[in-house]
């Protein structure tokens, strides 16, 4: 087992003043910070006062950054650079920080000469060593001549100074698809610092990608577990530090963002076997979904089969689908999810370690001791081992004929845009659900981003990228529960007969469906007659239809999966959203 590693976060990751950032980092449990120079320059306190503030918060300053465009330059430029470096060394001495980051040059003054770069970095390291300081040289992915970590290491090795080492940044390495295995050839004592960032894979200029779209580990597409393992195998024992440039994070609540950041490092340590925490639970399905308010479940074929012994909550069932209706709270929203897991106590312990502590809950005499945790959007997630919780409900003896619904397929929760990536990390790290690909589509009133997470249960997370002004007639933060059935066409017909208000899909959709697929005409006609939408992939088919709103922002979907289809019919979302708007306007 490797020793415990300290954690740090760059102040550039968070919003607010420097004091806001430091307080948030300390509150989230970080051990140290990388102090970004701009944060120092904008602060009224001197470096020594900032050092005292950090110490009072229990934080160390692990890196001062950055020193740019230093190496491989003509003599006159070198003289200016050394004067600038000496000033930074003075600041570092007052801050009490030992290591400064030197980024590979992007300057037009730079010369493509590794020997010259090594010579000048050796000189810089000699000046630093006189003050007990170190230089961490980092290859920027867009560096003019040095843009790969192996190249940076060759220069450091050629310079041959004990106060000169490399800084490895996961973004600069993985964005260029450089092989991280060669990191193991770098002596651990020459890796002076490690910076971690995730990111979605985007086909764009690497500088813009880096400056605006980095994410915390576990939120993007990079394999940071393998990357970090290579660094640790090389012998690195410094802090695991986050350097994430992200437009959203730098406008978000710094305390919330810092907790999200710390959770990402805890999850990364767990993936490396460095965290003493129970394994992620393996969900076995939905125990229930809870609605606040009184949607018309009877028209969907549900039976009111139980009343809670001590709370204003009713149990409605159909097949294996169980829906709780809670009379307390804001009507018309999803208040809680019950997820079946083998060991709720272990799952709750994992949630606590990953900074999602259990919610307090009052249970009456003889009632099931359920444990709940809070998701980022406020949804309560109950961890259920079995069906003992059903004993909390007094049977009513009521029954309904049903309409063909058999269970819960997935639940869709709209997230505030600023917390979309946080929600992905929460469900991935705390509950062990695996994120699918992120999709974006043009909805009637703006661009929408969506991502499914699954593993025993399915969830979809959605967010409106921009919502500005009063011209947003869509339902704010819509949510829905998707039920399963074995025959979507017959189920839709049965629900219409029972009085359920189903969304009408325009005929243009079915004209296009007939033109772009090889579906038989009679099958398209059956879908058209019941407003059932259709999607397929190489694994199977997906038939689904929707109800109108059943509350302030809740509606229902009924789905039929055929074969190995595992998606959510995202291609049909704009059509459904427009149909929902028409239904609301018509009423």
List residues forming the annotated binding site: 138, 169, 195, 243, 410, 480, 557
DSSP string, 7-71: EEEEGGGS-S-HHHHHHHHHHHT-SEEEEEHHHHHT-SS-HHHHHHHHHHHT-EEEEEEEE-S-S
Does residue 322 contact residue 290 with C-beta atoms inside 8 Å? no
Kind of pairing, strands 60-67 and 99-103?
parallel
Does residue 81 contact residue 127 with C-beta atoms inside 8 Å? no
H-only helix segments in 96-223: 114-129, 149-159, 170-174, 206-213
Given phi > 0 = left and psi -120 to 50 = alpha, else beta, which region is 72? Answer: left
Cβ neighbours, 10 Å, residue 330: 11
Does residue 531 contact residue 474 with C-beta atoms inside 8 Å? no
DSSP string, 350-375: HHHHTT-PEEP----TT----EEEE-
Alpha carbon distance 578, 443 (integer Å): 8
CA proximity to 236, closest of 412, 5, 464, 20: 5
- Please tell me whether residue 423 adopts helix, strand or coil conformation: helix
Whether omega for the bond prior to residue 381 falls within 30 degrees of 0, making it cis, is no
Cβ neighbours, 10 Å, residue 41: 8
Encoding tokens for residue 544? 């689904």
The single residue listed with the structure tokens 């600023």 is 418
Alpha carbon distance 555, 542 (integer Å): 19
Does residue 118 contact residue 155 with C-beta atoms inside 8 Å? yes
Alpha carbon distance 154, 192 (integer Å): 15
Query: Which residues are annotated as part of the binding site for a divalent metal cation?
Result: 138, 169, 195, 243
Burial classification of residue 519, based on how many CB atoms lie within 10 Å of its CB (0-12 exposed, 13-18 middle, 19 or more buried): middle
Query: Which residues are annotated as part of the binding site for Mg(2+)?
Result: 410, 480, 557
Burial classification of residue 7, based on how many CB atoms lie within 10 Å of its CB (0-12 exposed, 13-18 middle, 19 or more buried): buried
Cα distances (Å, whole numbers) of residue 78 to 16, 337, 383, 416: 35, 62, 62, 49
């Amino acid at each position: 087992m490797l020793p415990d590693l300290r954690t740090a976060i760059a102040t550039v990751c968070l919003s607010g003043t420097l004091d806001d950032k430091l307080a948030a980092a300390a509150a989230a449990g970080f051990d140290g910070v990388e102090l970004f120079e701009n944060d120092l320059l904008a602060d009224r306190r001197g470096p020594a006062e900032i050092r005292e503030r950090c110490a009072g918060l229990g934080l160390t300053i692990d890196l001062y950054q950055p020193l740019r465009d230093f190496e491989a330059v003509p003599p006159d430029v070198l003289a200016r650079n050394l004067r600038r470096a000496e000033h930074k060394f003075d600041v570092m001495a007052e801050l009490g920080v030992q290591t400064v980051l030197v980024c590979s040059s992007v300057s037009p003054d730079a010369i493509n000469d590794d020997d010259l770069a090594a010579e000048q970095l050796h000189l810089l390291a000699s000046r630093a060593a006189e003050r007990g300081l170190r230089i961490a040289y980092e290859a920027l992915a867009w560096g003019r001549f040095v843009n790969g970590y192996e190249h940076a290491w060759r220069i450091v090795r050629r310079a041959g100074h004990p106060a000169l080492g490399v800084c490895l940044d996961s973004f600069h390495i993985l964005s260029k698809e450089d092989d991280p295995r060669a990191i193991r050839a770098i002596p651990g004592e020459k890796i002076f610092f490690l910076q971690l960032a995730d990111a979605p894979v985007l086909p764009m200029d690497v500088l813009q990608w880096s400056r605006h779209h980095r994410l915390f580990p576990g939120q993007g597409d990079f394999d940071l577990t393998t990357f970090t393992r290579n660094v640790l195998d090389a012998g690195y024992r410094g802090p695991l530090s986050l350097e994430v440039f992200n437009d959203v994070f730098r406008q978000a609540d710094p305390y919330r963002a810092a907790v999200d950041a710390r959770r990402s490092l805890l999850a990364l340590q767990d993936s490396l076997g460095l965290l003493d925490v129970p394994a992620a639970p393996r969900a076995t399905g939905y125990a229930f979904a809870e609605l606040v308010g009184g949607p018309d479940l009877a028209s969907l074929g549900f039976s009111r089969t139980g009343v809670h012994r001590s709370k204003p909550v009713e149990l409605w069932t159909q097949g294996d689908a169980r829906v709780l209706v809670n009379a307390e709270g804001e009507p018309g929203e999803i208040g809680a999810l019950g997820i079946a897991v083998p060991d709720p106590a272990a799952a709750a312990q994992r949630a606590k370690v990953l900074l999602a502590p259990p919610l307090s809950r009052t249970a009456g005499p003889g009632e099931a001791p359920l444990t709940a945790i809070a998701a980022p959007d406020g949804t309560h997630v109950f961890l259920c081992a079995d069906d003992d919780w059903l004993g909390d409900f007094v049977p009513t003896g009521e029954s309904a004929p049903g309409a063909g619904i058999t269970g819960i397929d997935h639940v869709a929760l709209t997230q505030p845009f600023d917390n979309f990536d946080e929600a992905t990390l929460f469900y991935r790290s705390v509950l062990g659900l695996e994120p699918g690909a992120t999709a974006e589509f043009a909805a009637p009133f703006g661009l929408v981003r969506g991502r499914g997470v699954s593993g025993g249960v399915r969830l979809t997370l959605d967010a409106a990228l921009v919502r500005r002004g009063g011209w947003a007639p869509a339902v704010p933060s819509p949510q829905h529960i998707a039920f399963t059935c074995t025959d979507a066409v017959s189920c839709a017909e049965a629900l219409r007969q029972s009085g359920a208000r189903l969304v009408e899909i325009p005929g243009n959709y079915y004209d296009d469906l007939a033109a772009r697929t090889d579906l038989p005409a009679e099958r398209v006609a059956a879908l058209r007659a019941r407003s059932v939408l259709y999607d397929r992939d190489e694994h199977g088919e997906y038939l689904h239809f929707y109800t109108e709103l059943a509350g302030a922002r809740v509606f229902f979907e009924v789905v039929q999966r055929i074969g190995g289809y595992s998606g959510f019919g995202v291609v049909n979302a704009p059509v459904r959203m427009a149909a929902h708007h028409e239904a609301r306007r018509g009423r």
